[in-house]
Each structure stands twice: as structure tokens, then as C-alpha cells.
């Protein structure tokens, strides 16, 4: 891979990419209809080799990266995961495996722990076996996840569980939290679906109503109070969808600010959804990480504030939210430079109001969900 040819001034002008996400593969045995992977992931068959990944880790660490997440697809599909974990540990990263638990075994957990893996997050689709397996597109997924969550804890890791909530499971949030307590979880992320990739395709079937969301938040708060009274260590983190907010999220804490995502084929992105934008993003096979982060057009496109049109340009909140999410602006308005339509100051905010109204009118029908799999991705590619 290339090395950088920057001068000292260039090198000092941009903060380091503290958070490196390695999307090792788009292969995954599950088919979640809310997966944030690109709709055309089937196009991307090439994956970086073990040596190329380790070189990415080395260069990013040199630039200041400290946290490394192994993600995908399902990262356990990569047979070289233990080797990659060892290399990351030797470089001094704090490492996190983000997994569905499918493909994990007791022996693999021990091996990954021996290689120096710091943290494992296991995701569930629901607390009910039938719903979980329906959403995962696998009859065996739930039992495997339960066994592996317990095995992760038995190996001495904190139990970190992630549930993506949406219209089809959010009314069972009580049961989700009960399951987490039964499993002796330490941290639970109850993350309401955000609408990128396959989730955006399935938005009408996934977006909860405002009432569903408010009830779920209230139930979570009641559980927090109950757990606090019992001095229970489990922390419940509730992430609401920004579609019901009046201000957008500070997406990635700012474009090219601290987050660096490397996709399976080596394309470098400032967030995992950015590939859909009409911007040319660099590849680690052609450029050094330093060039990608500090100099490349893709990473400088929306850095800072100079690119902002009104109303963000003269807004006194722009330091807080950076104008929101560029992908959301692009998906909803066709122009990634627009203010995120979630913002009530955006001239496009009516698009969000329409989506909320549509959610109120929708009568759920899970048979309309499009599952994320190779066949569906090929069909989407063929349709253009
Ligand atoms: S969201 Fe589901 S389908 Fe997508 S990578 Fe994760 S487990 Fe696989
Ligand atoms: S106008 Fe732009 S900067 Fe101001 S709050 Fe809305 S999105 Fe944020």
C-alpha cells in the first residue's frame, strides 16, 4: 500500500481518527431487514487480505486511532479474525467485536480472548424466539445467541447486548429488558432502527409510531429506576430514532472528525453509509491512511463549516450538530449539502412530517419486509 507524502503543516491541521471501524466482510449468515450494509453489497466480492488489514491497522494507529471495532457483515466469517485481533492488540488498540453470535463457539471465545480481544457485543433481533428467528431469517439464531451471550460472560467479558428495535418488536421492550436481566447483562443498547441501507428500504414496515416510541422510552425509564433501587449494575441505553426529534444528531461527531470506516474492499468512508453519496472515496489499496484522512477529497468534502448552505451557515447551533447527517440529507432531499430534514429549521422538514404521518397510518404486515441477502441484493443491482 502507498505511503503518505505530506508536509508537517498538512499533518498537524486535522484531528486524528480515534475510532477505526473495520468492516471485514459483507458476508453474513443472517438477513436482518434493517441491516445498514449497502443494498448492493453483492457487488463487493473482494475483501482485503489479512496483510492488508494489518497494514491498515498499523497506519491508522500511527495516525492516532485508539479504538478498533471489528464489524461486517459477520466478522466471525473471516477465518483470520484471531490473527487480526492479535495484530490489533500488539499495536495497542482497544478492540471490540460486534457480532450476531452466529459462528461463535466456546473455543473461539477462549481463542479470541487469548489473542487479546477486549470487548464483545452480541446483537439480538428480539426477545421472543419466533420473532427473533423471523427477523434474522434463521430458525436456529435465537438459541445460538442465548448460548453465546452466556459463554461470553462466562469467559469474563462484560455482557454487552444490542437490540435494534422497530415496529415489530418495540412493544415487547419489557420482555427484551427482562431477558437482558435474566442473562445478567452489564450494558444493553436498545437502539431504535435508523434508516440507512436495508432499513431505509423497509422503512414503512420498521418505523414505529410516536406512541410506540414514547411507551418504550417510558418502560425503559421505569426499569432504570427499578434497577437503581436494587443497586443492579445493568445499564440500559435507549437510542431514539432522530425522525421524531426536532434537531438532527451530530452525525459521527462531524464529518472526518474522529470516525474512519474501512469497508471490506478497502474503500475508506467517514461513516458506514457514505458510500451511497455521489462523492469519490479513496481506497487503502491506492493511498496511505494518512493521505485518505488528511488530504483526500472524500474526507474533506464536508469537513468543518465552510461547505454549509443556509440555514446551517448562519445558525448558532452548527457547532453542536454540524448540520446533521449528510446521508440522510441526500436520501431525503437528493442533495447531501442540505440541512438534515430532521431539523425543524430545514426547508425540507415537511418530508419528515410526512414520514411520521405515514407511520401513523401504516398497518403492519411483516410479509412486506425485504430481507438482506445475496439474492435480494443481486435483484436490486439488476434493477439498477
Ligand atoms: S444487521 Fe443482521 S444481516 Fe446485517 S450484518 Fe448484522 S447480523 Fe448480518
Ligand atoms: S439549521 Fe442546520 S446547523 Fe442549525 S440546527 Fe438545523 S441542522 Fe443544525
- Tell me how far the alpha carbon of residue 271 lies from the centroid of ligand 1, in angstroms: 17
pLDDT value for 287: 98
pLDDT value for 135: 84
pLDDT value for 8: 41
Q: Is 234 annotated as a binding residue?
A: no
C-alpha distances (whole Å) from 194 to each of 205, 269, 273 are 13, 18, 11
- Tell me how far the alpha carbon of residue 243 lies from the centroid of ligand 2, in angstroms: 15
Is the C-beta atom of 215 inside 6 A of ligand 2? Answer: no
Is the C-beta atom of 112 inside 6 A of ligand 1? Answer: no
Q: Is 28 annotated as a binding residue?
A: yes
pTM > 0.85: yes or no: yes
Domain 19-239 carries which CATH code? 3.20.20.70
Q: Candidates 23, 37, 142: which one to mutate for ligand 1, based on the most atoms within 8 Å of Cβ? A: 37
- CA angle, 81 as apex, 293 and 110 as ends, to 5°? 130
pLDDT value for 12: 53
Residue with CA nearest ligand 2 atom 6: 343
pLDDT value for 154: 94
CA distance linking residue 364 with residue 167, whole number of Å: 8
- Tell me how far the alpha carbon of residue 6 lies from the centroid of ligand 2, in angstroms: 34
Q: Candidates 249, 255, 312: which one to mutate for ligand 2, based on the most atoms within 8 Å of Cβ? A: 312
CA distance linking residue 287 with residue 365, whole number of Å: 46
pLDDT value for 13: 74
Q: In the chain, where does the domain assigned CATH 3.20.20.70 lie?
A: 19-239
Is the C-beta atom of 116 inside 6 A of ligand 2? Answer: no
pLDDT mean values, one per 10 residues, the chain (384 residues): 44 84 96 94 93 98 98 96 98 97 94 97 91 85 92 94 94 95 95 94 95 97 97 95 93 94 97 94 98 97 94 95 96 97 97 95 91 95 90
Smallest-distance ligand from the CA of 346: 2
Assign 3-class secondary structure to the chain.
CCCCCCCHHHHHCCCCCCEEEEECCCCCCCCCCCCCCCCCHHHCCCCCCHHHHHHHHHHHHHHCCCEEEEECCCHHHCCCHHHHHHHHHHHCCEEEEEECCCCCCHHHHHHHHHHCCCEEEEEECCCCHHHHHHHHCCCCHHHHHHHHHHHHHHCCCCCEEEEEECCCCHHHHHHHHHHHHHCCCCEEEEEECCCCHHHHHCHHHHCCCHHHHHHHHHHHHHHHHHHHHCCCCCEEEEECCHHHCCCCCCHHHCCCCCEEEECCCCEEECCCCHHHCCCCCCECCCCCHHHHHHHCHHHHCCCCCCCCCCCCCCCCCHHHHCCCCHHHHHHHHCCCCCCCCCCCCCCCHHHHHHHHHHHHHCCCCHHHCCCCCHHHHHHHHHHC
Amino acid at each position: 500500500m502507498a505511503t503518505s507524502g505530506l508536509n508537517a503543516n498538512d499533518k498537524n491541521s486535522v484531528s486524528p481518527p480515534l475510532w477505526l471501524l473495520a468492516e471485514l466482510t459483507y458476508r453474513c449468515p443472517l438477513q436482518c431487514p434493517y441491516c445498514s450494509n449497502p443494498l448492493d453489497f453483492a457487488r463487493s466480492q473482494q475483501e482485503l487480505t489479512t496483510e492488508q488489514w494489518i497494514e491498515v491497522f498499523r497506519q491508522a494507529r500511527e495516525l492516532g486511532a485508539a479504538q478498533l471495532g471489528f464489524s461486517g457483515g459477520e466478522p466471525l466469517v473471516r477465518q483470520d479474525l484471531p490473527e487480526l485481533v492479535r495484530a490489533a492488540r500488539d499495536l495497542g488498540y482497544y478492540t471490540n467485536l460486534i457480532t450476531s453470535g452466529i459462528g461463535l463457539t466456546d473455543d473461539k471465545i477462549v481463542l479470541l480472548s487469548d489473542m487479546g480481544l477486549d470487548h464483545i457485543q452480541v446483537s439480538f433481533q428480539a426477545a421472543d424466539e419466533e420473532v427473533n428467528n423471523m427477523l434474522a431469517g434463521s430458525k436456529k439464531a435465537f438459541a445460538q445467541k442465548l448460548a453465546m451471550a452466556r459463554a461470553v460472560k462466562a469467559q469474563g467479558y462484560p455482557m454487552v447486548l444490542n437490540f435494534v428495535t422497530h415496529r415489530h418488536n418495540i412493544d415487547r421492550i419489557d420482555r427484551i429488558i427482562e431477558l437482558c436481566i435474566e442473562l445478567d447483562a452489564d450494558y444493553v443498547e436498545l437502539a431504535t432502527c435508523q434508516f440507512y441501507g436495508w432499513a431505509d428500504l423497509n422503512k414503512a414496515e420498521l418505523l414505529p409510531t410516536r406512541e410506540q416510541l414514547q411507551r418504550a422510552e417510558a418502560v425503559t425509564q421505569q426499569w432504570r429506576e427499578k434497577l437503581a433501587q436494587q443497586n443492579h449494575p445493568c445499564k440500559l441505553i435507549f437510542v431514539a430514532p432522530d425522525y421524531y426529534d426536532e434537531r438532527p444528531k451530530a452525525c459521527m461527531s462531524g464529518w472526518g472528525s474522529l470516525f474512519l470506516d474501512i469497508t471490506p474492499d478497502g474503500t475508506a468512508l467517514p461513516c458506514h453509509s457514505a458510500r451511497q453519496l455521489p462523492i469519490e472515496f479513496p481506497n487503502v489499496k491506492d493511498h496511505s491512511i494518512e493521505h485518505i484522512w488528511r488530504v483526500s477529497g472524500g474526507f474533506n468534502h464536508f469537513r468543518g463549516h465552510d461547505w454549509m448552505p443556509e440555514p446551517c451557515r448562519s445558525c448558532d447551533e452548527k457547532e453542536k450538530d454540524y448540520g446533521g447527517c449528510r446521508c440522510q440529507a441526500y436520501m431525503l432531499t437528493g442533495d447531501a449539502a442540505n440541512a438534515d430534514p430532521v431539523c425543524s429549521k430545514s426547508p425540507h422538514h415537511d418530508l419528515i412530517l410526512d414520514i411520521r404521518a405515514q407511520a401513523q397510518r401504516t398497518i403492519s404486515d411483516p410479509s412486506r419486509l425485504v430481507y438482506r441477502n445475496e439474492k435480494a441484493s443481486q435483484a436490486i443491482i439488476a434493477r439498477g
